[in-house]
Structure 1
Amino acid sequence: MRRLRILHIGEYVVGGMATYLNEVVGYQREFFDVYLLMSDYNSASDFDLEPDHILRYKYTRHPKYFFAAMRQIHQAIKSIQPDIIHIHSSFAGILARGLFFIFPQKASVFYCSHGWAFLMDTKPLYRKGYFLIEKLMEYKTDVIVNISKYELEQSLHLGLSASKSKLVYNGIREREASDFIPLSKSSEETDIIQLLFVGRYDRQKGLDIVLDMFKKHPELQQHIRLYVIGDTVLEDKVWEFPENIIRLGWVNNAEIDRYYQQCDAVIMPSRWEGFGLVAIEAMKNRKPVIGSSRGALPELIQHGESGYIFDIEHSHELLNILKNLDKAELVAMGEAGYAIYKDKFNASRMNEEIVGLYYEAFTGASVQEIPVTSRLEFSKRAGDAHD
């Protein structure tokens, strides 16, 4: 029996996208023949897949490279002949699905934007254009995977297909405890709050908001030490960091838990957020999250219980939170967040739901009609359906 063949296609697979895809392909490879195709620029290198199943296309995000990228993606699809194509992110969604307006669509096509472009904090004309593109591409999509209730409800309100749209919360697995890589702090700093930011240096993630806060209120650094994991990806902006803010650059996905474990809280000042995988990584490591009220973050963070929510339009809200951080309270919030993670955002639940959607799309039968209880049964049924 030939195993069901899955091709995942991304554009810039780095940061949260790389974390997500590593969880998915690492699970699916146990039961399916899984491939990952992504840009050779701005993509991570470590994935839980056989090296010959990790493919790259030459590409940078500029219109002059689009058609060449589409040609390479088409060649990969012809070579692999997948049964299911699972596309991740807006640009990959255009490049891959755009092919099916020219060539026959032989595979079931899944698409996840990982944050709708038409919900970004940008000009209304741009948002309308992004939506029209997604509406057109919907015709070449069998299943649209939304990563939060916010994303699902907003997309349906604007007019995307209700029958094709599904909700699957992101999830990440727990890893075994490992040796710490100590953060650079002295023994005299035990009372200082260790605050961690993880993400790209760009407008979406809002790093400038927290940097400006520390610039305008240098007194915060008397009891808070800010560590920043990440770097620029797309923007050419020169970032200025106040003194005593520690820049750690990108951290290997296999080691990042060590940094979460040593901080007291994680800050997410995002301007928009389709889900917010960093919040779940923090909760998994028993750390509370200080997040903006944008996008899906209020679905993940229980204000006053597992962290704090603030409005980025009212800077005094974040300032008051930072001034009054208490280590004992943060520990209690971290435990509450961990309980939420275990209940709603673990990798097993996410992966079983994704495979269940594969089965529904591939056989036409509803997973709810089938008493499938284990991951193996989920995957075996999908494989049997291929034959």
Structure 2
Amino acid sequence: MKEINIAFITERMIKGHGVDLVVDRLADGLARKGYHTKVYCNYFDETFTNRKSYGIEKLHYFKPAANPIIYEQRIRRLVPYLNSKQVDLFIIQSFPFYSLIPKLNAPVLAVDHGVVSVTDMPFKRKLKFKYMYHSQNISYFKKAEGLITVSKYLLGCLPLSLRKKASFIYNGANHYKMRDVSDPEVADFRESMGVSADDILLLYVGRLNLTNQPYKGLAELVSIYQDIYQKHANIKLLAVGFSSKNDEEYLKNQGILAIGNAPEEQMPLLYSSCDIYATASKWEGFDLPIAEAQGFGKPTISYNIGAHPEISRNEHTGYIVDDYQEFKEKLEILLINPDLREKMGREAKAYAKEFTWENSVKNYDHQIKKMLSLKDTDIQPKPHINRYRTSKSKDVSVVIVNYNSSYLVLKECLQSLAKQTHKEIEIIIFDNNSSNKEILRDIKVEFPHINIIYSDRNLGLGEGLNRAIDQAASKLILISNFDVVYNIDAVEQMVLLINNLESSYIGVAPKIKFYFQRDFIENVGISIDENFYSGNYGRGQLDLSQYNKQEDIFGTSFVSCMIRKKAFLKNRVGPIDPSFFLFYEDVDFCYRANLHGYRFKSCPQAILYHRYGCSFRDEATAFQRIYYYQKLNIMKTAFKNAEEYNMKRILKNELGIQKQNLRDANLKHIARRIASDFRKSSRHLKRQRHFIQFSRQLFDSDIIK
């Protein structure tokens, strides 16, 4: 058996875009065939991040340029990174990534989804799409080892010289779970939308902006609907798709029902609830929604353009019309003839079986094996691989790294967690080879539900947290010191806030107060200045409710904070740096998160109390240890994360401080150690810096405010 690595390259993976859905189904299907598949894209949302069958990675984001040639030049800077990956075949799906084809060191299969019609577009946008058409057909596609179009229509649009090596593979349309939607469900939905049992509901699925994609014809469909409504008041039009709130409101003001950004699981209900599917699009390379609607047994009506004559059959699965007037005439025939709608719906459902992902994946598999000279026996199918990541049983996983805690301190922390109003909690303690293990044995007797992981050596705080997080069974991680005590609703308050924030917010910071001076604030999140010195919002201030407003913050203290578990994935922020033994592991993590465009918010309604300095109270060398780790890790954080100018400035300052400390008899030993250990770590840091800077989304000036 061979391990074949396939890399899909596409612009984005977000809800509401047809190409993104196609990539998702192909990557999943080929993974089941036995290939190792991964998707590289500029950005993605929650829709595709829970896929277990394939990986997804965000590429370095290059700001699109108005000039497509300049944009391609920027994108080509990805070549060294992509060529460093072990890839046997690249499958490139979209502009501007076709420009990578001549530079990649593995074979490329280009997929042509077509270039849209430029009718009614502004002049500059016309130029952009004209350039896209000519550059890919005259230059890039020639240099690809394989070329696939998604319809016969697009195959016919290729220059004759390309058609010889190209073939077409239809997309599938059976991606929605074809569950039986009950009649009561349909009735309830229609009633909720103000559609009665006697009304005829037209459905349109696509982008809901009437101006940015004029070729989609939504404005014309609205006009047709309004004309027909004058004669048939029982007709309703429902528009569903990717949109902004302004798009939805505009449509509603035109008398159109609108649902923006409908979740995938709602689509079967939407298709089942309509009577006719209608689109006035003036260009389509395939048109997934027509095939989807036919799969649900709905007659369709569309213009005779693009791939429509392939996706539907005129006068059998619905009507394919030539102009505005004929559209109205045929639509009226369907409106007044329920028997015809039912007959065409049956034929539509039967014809939809031509468009399955099983067929698509089978054809791609054949093409890939042909390109890579593979035999069927070279790949071991994995038909039972789970498409989705398994859901977890607990809402919150509390992770605590323990080292020589006292019984009473740890017990008080665990008791406060046991009393929380939020009950779905698991607790994981990672013990860093404590010398007083009998304390944990006693704790386990008193709290039998906790999970204790024992390490045979002290791995430090950063790696200890990573090991505990790896074992967590929840989507939300509560990082906690062992020397804190939580108010009874602290966890509930953090869960409520983070679950109501958009996905770019990955963590929330509670209000941490001093255990022995409970009217004073330790922090409500952390900050960082231009020298990479960390600070604490509210440190030492009397709590007069001045921090009771939820606010955006730089980051969270790992004394206690709640972070989405997915943030620790390599294609997000990544794990906590295991080389940070003590201190600054939270600053480094939060800085990396900011670089990638993620955010944090304070949650002052969640309150806890921290025995500040408890871990070092009995150590004679506490100052030296704290100073050593803080100074060393400031430099490591800056070396990895700061832009080059800031990095050099900070290192010069910090190494200069240690040079001065060599003159101090009390500090010279630790100064030598700081400088030496920093230099020893430079090779490791350089590798990290290369990746971090390559995937940077924000400048330092955007983070340090």
Question: Which TM-score band applies after superposition, normalised by the shorter structure?
Answer: 0.7 to 0.9
Gapped regions of structure 1 (runs ≥ 5): 382-387
Aligned residues: 356
Aligned to 1:384: none
Question: For the structure 1 residues 133 and 231, does the alpha-carbon distance in structure 2 shift closer, same or farther, using more than 3 Å as the test?
Answer: same
Out of 234, 238, 262, the residue aligned to residue 223 of structure 1 is 234
Single out whichever of 239-248 and 327-336 deviates more from structure 2.
239-248
Alignment-mate amino acid for residue 90 of structure 2: I
2:81 is equivalent to residue 70 of structure 1: no
**Closer, same or farther: CA 237–282 of 1 in aligned 2, 3 Å:** closer
* Paired amino acid for 1:111: A
Alignment of 1:57-206 (within 5 A): 57=59, 58-59=61-62, 61-62=64-65, 63=67, 66-71=72-77, 73-74=78-79, 76-94=81-99, 96-97=100-101, 100=102, 103=103, 105-117=104-116, 121=119, 129-134=131-136, 135-155=138-158, 158-173=159-174, 175-177=177-179, 180=185, 182-185=188-191, 189-200=196-207, 201=209, 202-206=213-217
Amino acid at match of 1:319: K
Q: Is the 8 A contact 1:90 1:113 kept in 2?
A: no
CA distance in 2, matches of 1:323, 1:136: 47
The letter of the residue matching 2:191 is K
The one-letter code matched in structure 2 to 1:46 is F
Q: Residue type of the partner of 1:19?
A: L
TM-score normalised by L of structure 1: 0.81
Deviations 1:310-343 (A, max 9, x none): 22xx32111112222233322221110111111x
Could you say if the C-alpha distance between residues 8 and 188 of structure 1 is closer, same or farther in structure 2, counting changes exceeding 3 Å? closer
Q: Shift in Å at residue 86 of structure 1? A: 0.5
Alignment of 1:324-335 (within 5 A): 324=333, 325=335, 326-335=337-346
Match of 1:23 in 2: 25
CA change 1:315–1:188 in 2 (3 A) is closer
Distance 2:76 2:248 in 1: 29
1:241 deviates by 4.6
Stretch moving more, 274-283 or 49-58: 49-58
Q: Which residue of structure 1 lines up, in the alignment, with residue 282 of structure 2?
A: 271
Q: Secondary structure at the match of 1:40?
A: strand
Q: Deviations over 1:131-157 (max 9, x none)?
A: 4312111232111101111111221xx
Gaps of 5+ in 2: 382-705
Q: 1:88 offset after TM fit, Å?
A: 0.9
Is 1:357 equivalent to 2:367 in the alignment? yes
Query: CA contact under 8 A between 2:75 and 2:97: conserved in structure 1?
Result: no
Q: Shift of the alpha carbon at 1:224?
A: 1.4
Q: Which deviations, in whole Å up to 9, do the C-alpha atoms of 1:180-237 show, x marking residues without a partner?
A: 575343798212111110011321221111112234454256121111111348x999
2: CA distance, partners of 1:219 / 1:358? 54
- Alignment RMSD (CA, Å): 3.2
For 2:198, the aligned partner's letter is: D
**What is the Cα deviation at residue 282 of structure 1?**
0.9
- Tell me the residue number matched to 1:6: 6
Tell me the secondary structure at the aligned position of residue 116 of structure 1: coil
8 Å CA contact 1:214, 1:221 repeated in 2 = no
Q: C-alpha separation between the residues in 2 aligned to 1:176 and 1:48?
A: 20
Higher relative CO (Cα under 8 Å, sequence separation at least 6) belongs to 1
Comparing 184-193 and 292-301, the one that deviates more: 184-193
The residue aligned with 1:317 is 326
How far apart in 2 are the matches of 1:125 and 1:9? Answer: 24
Task: Report the TM-score, using the length of structure 2 for normalisation.
Answer: 0.46
Aligned partner (choices 231, 243, 256) of residue 245 of structure 1? 256
Shift of 1:50: 3.6
- 1:28 is displaced (CA, Å) by 1.3
Change (3 A) 1:140 1:271: same
User: 3-state SS of the aligned residue for 1:214?
Assistant: helix
Alpha-carbon spacing, 1:178–1:56, altered in 2? closer, same or farther (3 Å)? farther
> Aligned partners of 1:177 and 1:116: how far apart in 2?
34
Larger Rg: 2
Q: Decide which of 305, 319, 324 is 2:316's aligned counterpart.
A: 305
Give the secondary structure class of the aligned counterpart of 1:173. Answer: coil
Q: Which amino acid aligns with 1:198?
A: V
**Is the Cα–Cα contact under 8 Å of residues 243 and 260 in structure 2 kept in the other structure?**
no
2: CA distance, partners of 1:310 / 1:166: 28
Give the conservation status (yes or no) of the 8 Å contact 2:203–2:239: yes
* Contact 1:108 1:142 survives alignment (8 Å): yes
Provide the residue aligned with 1:38 in structure 2. Answer: 41
Post-superposition Cα deviations, 1:26-67, rounded to whole Å, max 9, x if no partner, equal: 1112211110111216x6632663498211232454346554
User: Against the structure 1 CA distance between its residues 247 and 160, is the aligned structure 2 distance closer, same or farther, given a 3 Å change threshold?
Assistant: farther
Q: Say if 1:136 and 1:190 are closer, same or farther in 2 by CA, change over 3 A.
A: same
Q: Deviations over 1:228-278 (max 9, x none)?
A: 111348x99995555441110012234312211111121121111101111
Q: In structure 2, the residue corresponding to 1:177 is in which secondary structure?
A: coil
Whole-angstrom CA distance in 1 between matches of 2:341 and 2:84:
52
